[in-house]
Structure 1
Amino acid sequence: MEEARGRYDQLGESKNQLQRSIDTSRTLLEAKIAQLTRRVDVELGPKAGAETELAGQLAQVQQRLSGLDQEKVQVAGLRDRLTNTSTAIGEAQGTAERYLVEGKELAAKLEFLEKSGGSEAVCPLCQTSLGHDGCTALSHTYTTDIQAKRNLYRQNQQRLKQLETEKTDMEQEWGQRDQALTTSLREGQSKLQELESRIQESRDAQKTLDEERKQVQAAQSSLASGDFASAEQSELKAIEDLILSLGYDEEARQQSYAETRELAHFEERQGQLTQAEASLPAEQESLARTQDILNRRRIDLEQAQERRTAGEQSISELPQLQTGLKVAESGLAELESVRQTTAARLGYLDGEVRRLQSLRREVSRDSARLAALKEDEGIYQELVTAFGRQGIQAMLIETVVPRLEEEANLLLGRMTDNRMQVKLETQRERRSGRGDPIETLEINVSDELGPRSYEMYSGGEAFRVNLSLRIALSKVLAQRMGAPLPTLFIDEGFGSQDAAGRERILDVIGAIENDFDKIIVVTHLDDMKDVFPVRIEVQKGDEGSSFWIS
């Protein structure tokens, strides 16, 4: 009995130890399942399931950024228009300055012309006086040009004002849109990086979630099927079979139990100690797993703290960065202002260069035209000299005067019994006695009293000189033209002559009658009618004039 009891106690103790070991394994397995379930449900599940929502947010951010790309193009186009406007303003300013200078030049010319009254106004090419009509025409031209310059200046000023208004509006719009674009891009990029990081964390969480779900399912399956601590359970079943095979009596055992009750607490403590020793490896294993989990949590915590520290550092640096950004934006604004000023100056210089090129072309054309005009001026000057008083006229006069004197003196000698003679002088010395002789035509008549001027003779004498010169001039001209001079008209001229003078004139007419086919004399003297064989008499009556040939 004692041997069976001992064996029974030994097997019971082994059974209790195995049962405690199995219970410990169950407890550890349930704790692991609870821990994994909490991690799956609380930590990994929401994080893993957030990918779809984060992907939607990421798509929205990317769409906004794509929209900002279009805004970039529009802002860049606005900046280009602003640059072109600044260039146009510079060109308009240069044009305004040019119109102003040209208008002042025209006004100065007009003022000089009005002050001089045309007395000092000369042609800039030939240096001849413009005269009253030329000054009037030139004044009208200057006035028209000044009014045209004023109109162009006003139109240019209106365009310049419009361009400056457009520039101010575009500067304000560009500044607002550029600042808003920069802020939106910065916020969008930051949000994009955050979402990409969170999506990557979600994907990592999905992988970890799948693994830990498998671990939970395996642990739950093991717990439900009871196949955990399989060695201990197999050993427990074998001990239970041995206990049954002993055939031990319970009453005897109870009696023995009653006898050993006083020592039960020692056995209980021994059992606890043994159980503790038996569960120590499992507890150590659990402790190791817990320590591993704790280490991972510490690593996660350290990483989180590092991210927090980096974030706090970034936040602490944010005011400095914002200050630097403001300084950079201020510098950019100054550079933009300088760029616009430079663009305006460039436009002005481009306008001046084009104006200079245009002036060079005009100078080239005017130089060529001036050269041609100078050549024409030389030709015209030669023609002026040739057709002037000292040119062909002088040559003709020098050629004709001797013949004219000869013919006139021949006729005058017949009319005055060679008492009077004509001398034609075409040149005379200057009163100063210096320089070339002056071209002139002086009629000097000589008689028995000496040479005198034509105006110093009486009417009859002057008529004789006049008649002789006119007939001589007609003859000379007819001879030089190679044309006949068939008819001579003498209209009056006898009234200033005395009887002797009329006789001499009639003698002259008789002397030259062979030189002409017809000599027609018009007179009112009745005593002259009988001198001529053929007469055309005109008589005025109440009914008008009538004539007859006698």
Structure 2
Amino acid sequence: MIPLQLTLKNFLSYREASLDFRGLHTACVCGANGAGKSSLLEGITWAIWGESRANTEDDVIHTGAENVRVDFEFICNNQQYRIIRTRQRGKGGSLDFQIASSNGFRSLNAKGLRSTQDLITSSLKLDYDTFVNSAYLRQGRADEFMQRRPNERKQILADLLKLEQYEELANQAKDLSKLYKGQMQQLEESQDRLKEKLQQKETLITQKKGVVQEIELLQKAQTQAQERLKQLQAVQHQRQNWQQQLSWQKNQYENIGQESKRLKIEQSEVENKLAELKKNLSQEEEINLKYQQFMSLQQKEESLSAKFPTYQNLQQQKQKLEQEIFKHTNELKLQLQKNISRLENLQQQEQEVQQIVSNSAEVETALEKLQECRQRLSELDQLQHQVAPLLQRRYTLTREIEGRKARLTAKLEQLQEEQVKLFIEIDKVPEVRQEVLTVDSQIQELEKKQVYQQRVKEKGTERKARKKQLEDSQVIIEKQIQDLAKKLDLLVIPEATCPLCEQELDEHHRDHVIAKTQTQQREMQEQIWQIKESIAVCERELQCLRSEYSQLTEELIAYSSLQQYFGQLEAQLEASGDIKIKLTKIRSEILEIEAALSSGDYAPEGQNELKYLEEELKNLNYEEQTHAIVRAEEKRWRWAEIKQAKLEEANRRQVKINEEKPNLLERIYFLETELEELQKSSDIQKQIEAVEQSLEELSYDAIVHQNLRATIRQEQKAQFHYQQLQEAKQQYPQWQEKLKAVEQRLKFQQDNAATIQQQIDQTLMQIESLEDYAEVIEELELTIQNNREKLDDLLAKKGSFEQSLQQIESLKQEYIDNQQQLKEYKKQCRVYKELAQAFGKNGIQALMIENVLPQLEAETNQILSRLTGNQLHVQFLTQKSSKTNRQKAAAKLIDTLDIVIADARGTRSYETYSGGEAFRINFSIRLALAKLLAQRAGTSLQMLIVDEGFGTQDVEGCDRLIAAINTIASEFACILTVTHMPQFKEAFQHRIEVRKTNEGSQLILSH
């Protein structure tokens, strides 16, 4: 990655800044602490990966700003890119990834910010962690690579070497191995099932033979049963025929009985009908009279019905004519109304025109004033062209002066707020002092108790020593008593010698010695009693001292926390001194700002230029107020032009009105005349009068017609009774004939019933002469049915066995083919399993890391030897034992990436080296990593950043670092070093000076 251009806006300490990297090879980014040197480099990482040292995403936005934007152009893999990242405070951000083309930059954005970020990382083939662990030695994090766990170091190195492709191949090989393993397992299960089926062949052959024997026996028994069934069925068939004949005869007998009953019912109905007809015939005169009256009413109704269509037609004609005359009347009224409205409109327009024309003199006067205003306005416009640049500059200067004043005011308010806060802190000082005194008194009390506890402890020690002395004295005296007892035992013996001088003792001397010895024994026994009493006293005192010591220990538990709290309070009191100093400084600043604001002593250059501009404007004697008044006056008289145009338009309208008004009056008179004629003497009105005359001549009354129809509906039953009478005259002879026929058929059915009863008796005698084989036949049929079902089952079993045997024959080839396929699956599974291991972390990846580590180690030691004068040496270990010393017999090696550091005194841990030595070690490893990546073809890393690496070094160490950087400079496109130490500026080709101003950090590029 080769940087080309970095543009910052509201990023951390920068308001607006831009840095062009073109032409920069080795450059030093220098400036005071806090000037914004690291922020410049953080802008690169934030633009590419959205990562920075800020705790939250909004912290990268400059104080007081609402948004941030960073543009970064660079070259990667011979292709120019540009990344634009922005963010709104409290809201989301945006990311634009662009690539250079012949028509400028075009966007490569994916769907969503995260997808675009992934696209950037994949295009650079470098993520943030890898970058900060190789080519970017961040301020305070130069030991980033060393502080990582061994397995994380190995993963970082793997990412740098682009070993993820082998990891992908390993995962693919694992997936294929699992696939073939699953297929192999499925095939093995299938083979087991096939093997079980093939082993069933002999069993199936034996079972088939048994089924064939059962089929032969069952078929023979089935033939015998069928022959017996045929014989019995012939006899039973004859018996069934006679039974069917008997059943038919019985049915005939029942049918004849039912027919006889029906005929009797029919005979009764015919007799009833004849009686009814005879009753109607008896009312013939009355029915004929009512029928004649009904016919008369019907003739009247037919006469009225004949007039009704004519009446209806005349009514429709009348209605149609009335609608037509109503339509013409409405049309004429509508036209008349339109013409009247138009006439009224013309009259109104004529009034307006007369009003406009009446103001013609006033309009001419206003036009003259308008010309005068426009001439004056033209003169002021020319003067304004001269004054406008001066006014613009005056406005700019005024804004700058006001801005300076506003910044001073804002700073004054900020300082006043800080002053109030400091006053609040100072007000808390008495409370803190009182708290300090309280805590101090508590600590003094505890210290006194601590001294007393020490005294108690010393007293207890003394009592223990006294008790020990007494116990030792008791032991000595008890031993002396035992010696005296032994002496007495010797003195009791006759002719005993003196136990002291070993001379012979006479009786007197023996008694004297015995008495003396007994006296000593008694005295010693008294001493023992005294000693025991003293020991008991000491034990009681020790118990009291122990209890008191335990109580004091519990009371002294709070001593350490009180001391810590006391230290915090003292720190607050010490800070109060700093607060007072700071308050004094703030007060002086407030007084200076207030003096500047009150006297106006700020932005002197701007104020001087402003005075000069005021004099120039005064000489030109241009007043914008006068210009505005003249312009307003010109606008005020513009109505004259509008009125003049309206006056001309009014004259034209008056001509048109004079032409149109007589025609409208004539048209209105004509429409009124036509409307009056239409309602009195028009053809349509005459037609209406003729239709009304025809209706009078027709003499048709709809109400009379309606009442007549109601009467006819009421008398409708007379016609029905007349029809019934006519039908009765016709039907009475027919019903008499029908009664005779029914009586004859009834006699015939009774004769047939007697004949069929004789036939039934004969058929019963024939049935009784044959035996009933129905149950035997049913049992035979059931037996034959069961045998048939068994035979079907046996034949099905035989077919199933034959099919199974055929299937087994076909499964043999499938089993052989599956065996071949199984061998192939095992081979593929083994191959891909070995490939997964080969491509995995313990295969090619570990091998590549182990191959590159010697080069990395040699390069690191080469750089480290320059930096330390051959005093330090590093070694990379990729494996270590997984067991303790007691388990070394079964120890296994595990993968790691430990870094062993050795000096003249031997191997030591990384933490024991000084800050300068640790940085040289870190710098050597990181520099070797960057150099290694630059040499390898797999990455495009061509940039090295060293942030604040000289602060921990002495003069000799800094010289060695600079020499090491210059040595590898040819292998990188851009090397940036960051330092706040001014004595190292001249050691680099270019210098990027960072200065902190009120407008934010500023960049100055120098050679």
TM-score range for the pair, normalised by the shorter chain length: 0.3 to 0.5
TM-score, normalised by the number of residues in structure 2:
0.23
Q: Which has the larger radius of gyration?
A: 1
TM-score, normalised by the number of residues in structure 1:
0.39
